[in-house]
Amino acid sequence: MKIRDILWLGFKGLRERKLRAALTILGVVIGVASIIALVSQTTGIQVSVLNTLQSLGPTTLIVTPSRTTFTQVDVAKIASIPGVDNVIPMVSAQMELTLGSETKAVTVIGVDSEGLRIFLGEIRLVEGAVYPPSSVPLALVGHNIAFPVSQAGSQGLNIGQPLILAQQSGQVSRRVTVQVIGILDTYGSSSLIQTDNTLFIPMESAMKILNRKSYSLLLVKAASIDGVSNVQELLTNIYGNSVQIITTKQITQIVSTITGLLGALLGTIAAISLTVAGVGIINIMLVSVFERTREIGVLKSIGFKDSDIMKLFLSESAIIGLTGGVIGLITGYGVSMAIPYLLQTILSPNAQGSSTGSAGFGGTSFGGGMSLSYTPVVTLDMACVSLLVAVSVSVLAGLYPAWRASRMDPIKALRYE
């Protein structure tokens, strides 16, 4: 019997039981959509973080103090190490930004414009300009600060607008004013900072505003990839356990491992939904076999072979899996795009009050709060595998009912009431 006729009869059998078929397909839709929605989140975060690390370059070492402080003397000392091409000092702190009646926690980072360019890889501006080396309190504003979630993403800051920053020190609250000189485009998640929730200001201004005499972190650029290990070893010899040193290659490996394991875990959890859907298909197909006993007898009496009967019921299972898989892909993509917005709303710095951000390397407060900014990634491989799994689970679930149907005695089937 032709495959086209088998598929037509399978579709006809499902159409005659619309509600039952729709509910069975819904189980497959939920399973596929869950896989796409969850796995795409970890993939998106991984891509965003790795892109940030690539902008730093493979020759970058991140040096943070643990039992010491970094001053300009240390910058000069490290810069004189053989194989070191450049040293970029950075200073950071958590401050409260007041905009109208709202107060939110933001990260303030002091870094020279050239160092910022190296740190971000590329300075992408929505509007305005990059601050020059200056003691004037100018600020480059992260995208989520200028376009807050609380205002549905509409612009809340303008170039030249003064911003009031406050920092609590014991019982004393210090207030300073900085002027917006530029607004950054979106950068997404990073393993170092949340760029979209950060204010960048010139180093000289930052040291005054934050009342600092030491740096929070040093980015050390090796002259070559081959020289990274040598520079790391020399820094360890000089500072010992007083500093923590990590390379972008190490971070990349850690991020890839963690997101890979997390993606596998979430994918496995989501696959449970497909397993449940498979059990549902077995149940529905068995009921269908018993309901269509006389029909099976008639088909066999007019010349249908056992293999034809088996193909007929398997085609119904395949149609359920394919239809549910396609709808699940579309639904999963839509849900995956909505998840970052929901997370950003829930974890918005506005809801954090004055809480500090995530700790950076060596316990340095070098983060941007709990806000997440990334774009989920749904790859072609992910979509194909999800669709293949949906169809495979459906066909496997239909094997036993189809076998039961094919083994029926046509005489007994025709007598069945």
For residue 395, CA distances in Å to 36, 91, 319, 333, 375 come to: 21, 59, 9, 24, 34
Calculate mean pLDDT across residues 122-140: 87
Residue 55 exposed, middle or buried by CB count within 10 Å (0-12, 13-18, 19+):
middle
Mean model confidence pLDDT for the chain: 81
Calculate mean pLDDT across residues 221-228: 86
In the three-class reduction of DSSP (H, G, I as helix; E, B as strand; rest coil), residue 107 is classed as: strand
pLDDT of residue 352: 40
pLDDT of residue 170: 63
Any idea what the Cα angle at residue 60 is, between residues 59 and 61, rounded to 5°?
125
Calculate mean pLDDT across residues 30-58: 80
Residue 356 has pLDDT above 60, yes or no: no
For residue 311, CA distances in Å to 263, 280, 281, 316, 319 come to: 36, 19, 16, 9, 12
pLDDT of residue 416: 60
Summarize pLDDT for 7-25 with one digit per residue, the tens. 787 778 778 788 888 888 8
Predicted confidence band of residue 256 (pLDDT cuts 50, 70, 90): confident
Cα atoms in the 13 Å half-sphere on the side-chain side of 9: 18
pLDDT of residue 307: 83
d(Cα 142, Cα 357) in Å, to the nearest integer?
Answer: 15
Summarize pLDDT for 277-301 with one digit per residue, the tens. 888 888 888 888 877 787 778 887 8
State residue 156 phi and psi, 5-degree precision.
Answer: -115, -5
